[in-house]
Amino acid sequence: MTFFLSARFLKTVREYGILEDAYNRDFAEPVLALASAEVTRLTDLGYDKDDVVPVVNQALAAFVKRYPVSIPYIPF
C-alpha cells in the first residue's frame, strides 16, 4: 500500500508552520482543518485511516515545529 499526501496539504501546512514561528503563536485550528481534510481525502480514496493518520501526523510534526503536533490535533 503506497499513498502520497497531496501537494496542496503539504505546501499549506508548511506555510502555517512558518507563520507559527513568525507570529509566535499557535495556528492549531487551520492546521487541524487541513489535516482533517487530508485524512478524509485519503480515506475516501480507500486507504485505511489507521495507515493514513500516522503519516499525516508525521507531516504535521515535520512542518509545525514550534508546537510539536500529533494525534491530539486530529480527534478521529
5 binds other proteins (CB under 8 A): no
76 binds other proteins (CB under 8 A): no
| Residue 10 CB neighbours (<10 A) | 16
Residue-level length of the chain: 76
Q: 12 vs 57, which CB is nearer to other proteins?
A: 12
Tell the smallest beta-carbon distance from residue 68 to other proteins (Å): 19
Tell the smallest beta-carbon distance from residue 29 to other proteins (Å): 5
| 30, amino acid identity | P
CA 19 to chain centre: 15
